[in-house]
Chains A and B, each alone.
Chain A
Amino acid sequence: MALAREPQRKEYWRWTEYNWRNPDLDWRRAKTITAGVDVGSVSSQAVIMCDGELYAFANMRTGSDSPTSAQRAMDWAMENTGMTLKDVHFTVGTGYGRVNVPFANKAITEIACHARGGNFMYGPTVRTILDMGGQDCKAIHCDEKGKVTSFLMNDKCAAGTGRGMEVFADLLGVSIEDVGELSLQVAEEPEPVSSTCVVFAKTEATGLLRAGWPREKVLAAYCSAMAHRVVSLLERNGVEPDFAITGGIAKNVGVVSRIEKELGIKALKPRYDTQLAGAIGAALFGKALVEKGRR
């Protein structure tokens, strides 16, 4: 007979998926409606913009099938708007799965889209954008128009990525949204974990827990290792202010504040969901292409 056991599984890594619509805009009055769909390795976003203004978006997890994820994100963004794909003048796909967006008119790299989106989200003064995504990390420099002037990408290793943080949330049983705050509740900053590899960092963290470290101290050690790793990536290209962080990790105050401390400069405060940068940039590229076609 199987022993009865309470199910105690909780997915601590799971972040909130949601959609949003701008109640003050009526898409039927818009001249140009464009969409940007960013299919990342971990999350997918669909953004709809009316004449360059944010109208609606959806932010969700990428499934095993990129075309379906793109479609689901887009459907969710359009939910209850009365809008259908036919009403969208131009759709740009971006991100890791950009070639797998079946309804996209064009695919543009996430590097160009993040620069353009960062320019919209943080204003024209932003010069350095650090995108901390699910499975990669990019350092992008751009000009006042949001055009890329240089870029650098790390997608060889999962150190310093969102997925790594998800693994730690699960290990420690701390909700992913609370990791940042909790990691700051230490009296003294511990030594960062020495492994940059997520798998070995997890092994190291298990050892620290066994040695009696409280959860917040282990999280502090991991957040600071992540910050250090990313700063060493940024050093190659230099950091020119204004500086902004996009992607899911930008919501983790534990990592962001440690990056700021190591660099000695503050990151701009986000006014939009930081995960939207790529999709917003893609929609803006779409708008420019539509307007170019009309001229």
Chain B
Amino acid sequence: MIANYGYKDGAGDWFLSIDTDKCAGCGEKPCVNSCPEQVLEAITDDYDDEVVAVREAHRKKLRYSCNPCPRMEGKLPCQQVCPADAIVRSW
């Protein structure tokens, strides 16, 4: 499942998309601790898969939670550490 968290507003599209099929196979979930803002959390989804999701509190303010985050080679820290390339950002 592609879980799109975020929103669209006058300033653009602010979505983090998580491919849960790729994410479920990863035991470590290093992205959760890599995030300086604690945007991500590990949850058990409706189909009993262990996956990562964007915390409720951040879903409506991703532009402010994620956009200032430093990037390396165009990737956010969570994207860099993800072994499965499961996190895509829209901006």
The distance in angstroms between the C-alpha atoms of A111 and B4, with both chains bound, is 12
**Cβ of B46 and Cβ of A151 under 8 Å apart?**
no
CB distance from A280 to the nearest CB of B (A): 15
Partner of B15, one of A147, A232, A236: A236
**Cβ of B8 and Cβ of A232 under 8 Å apart?**
yes
**B3 adjacent to chain A (CB < 8 Å):** yes
Partner of A151, one of B3, B7, B90: B3
Kindly supply a per-residue 1/0 record for chain A positions 25-38, scoring 1 wherever the CB is within 8 Å of any chain B CB and 0 otherwise: 00000000000000
Known contacts A157-B9, A233-B8; A150/B3 CB under 8 A: yes
> Nearest CB to that of A155 among chain B residues?
B60
**Cβ of A150 and Cβ of B7 under 8 Å apart?**
no
Partner of B8, one of A109, A148, A154, A285: A154
**A172 adjacent to chain B (CB < 8 Å):** no
Q: Which of B4, B8, B46, B90 has the most CB of A within 10 A?
A: B46
**Cβ of B2 and Cβ of A150 under 8 Å apart?**
yes
Partner of B47, one of A112, A155, A156: A112
**Cβ of A149 and Cβ of B1 under 8 Å apart?**
yes
Q: What is the interface size of chain A, counting residues whose CB is below 8 A from a CB of the partner?
A: 20
**Cβ of B1 and Cβ of A236 under 8 Å apart?**
no
Write out the residue numbers on chain A whose beta carbons fall within 8 Å of the beta carbon of B1.
Answer: 147-151
**B13 adjacent to chain A (CB < 8 Å):** yes
How would you classify the secondary structure of chain B's contact residues: helix, strand, loop or mixed? strand
> Nearest CB to that of B4 among chain A residues?
A152
The distance in angstroms between the C-alpha atoms of A236 and B3, with both chains bound, is 12
Write out the residue numbers on chain B whose beta carbons fall within 8 Å of the beta carbon of A150.
Answer: 1-4
**Cβ of A112 and Cβ of B2 under 8 Å apart?**
no
Write out the residue numbers on chain A whose beta carbons fall within 8 Å of the beta carbon of B4.
Answer: 150-153, 236-237
Question: For chain B residues 35-70, which have a beta carbon within 8 Å of chain A?
Answer: 46-47, 60
The distance in angstroms between the C-alpha atoms of A255 and B40, with both chains bound, is 36
Kindly supply a per-residue 1/0 record for chain B positions 5-18, scoring 1 wherever the CB is within 8 Å of any chain A CB and 0 otherwise: 00111000101000
Write out the residue numbers on chain A whose beta carbons fall within 8 Å of the beta carbon of B15.
Answer: 152, 236
Write out the residue numbers on chain B whose beta carbons fall within 8 Å of the beta carbon of A157.
Answer: 7, 9
Known contacts A149-B2, A151-B1, A151-B3; A156/B46 CB under 8 A: no
**Cβ of B3 and Cβ of A156 under 8 Å apart?**
no
CB distance from B81 to the nearest CB of A (A): 23
Kindly supply a per-residue 1/0 record for chain A positions 95-127, scoring 1 wherever the CB is within 8 Å of any chain B CB and 0 otherwise: 000000000000011011000000000000000
**Cβ of A112 and Cβ of B46 under 8 Å apart?**
yes
Write out the residue numbers on chain B whose beta carbons fall within 8 Å of the beta carbon of A154.
Answer: 7-8
**Cβ of B47 and Cβ of A147 under 8 Å apart?**
yes
Question: For chain A residues 149-168, which have a beta carbon within 8 Å of chain B?
Answer: 149-157
Known contacts A150-B4, A151-B4; A109/B13 CB under 8 A: no
Question: A112-B46, A151-B2 provided; 8 other pairs, C-beta below 8 A?
Answer: A149-B2, A150-B3, A151-B3, A151-B4, A152-B15, A155-B60, A236-B4, A236-B13
A residues lining the B interface (CB < 8 Å): 108-109, 111-112, 147-157, 232-233, 236-237, 285
State the 7 A-B residue pairs at the shortest beta-carbon distance, nearest first. Answer: A150-B2, A112-B46, A152-B4, A156-B7, A156-B60, A148-B1, A108-B46
16 contacts between A and B (CB under 8 A): A108-B46, A111-B46, A112-B46, A147-B1, A150-B2, A150-B3, A150-B4, A151-B3, A152-B15, A154-B7, A157-B9, A232-B8, A233-B8, A236-B4, A236-B15, A237-B2
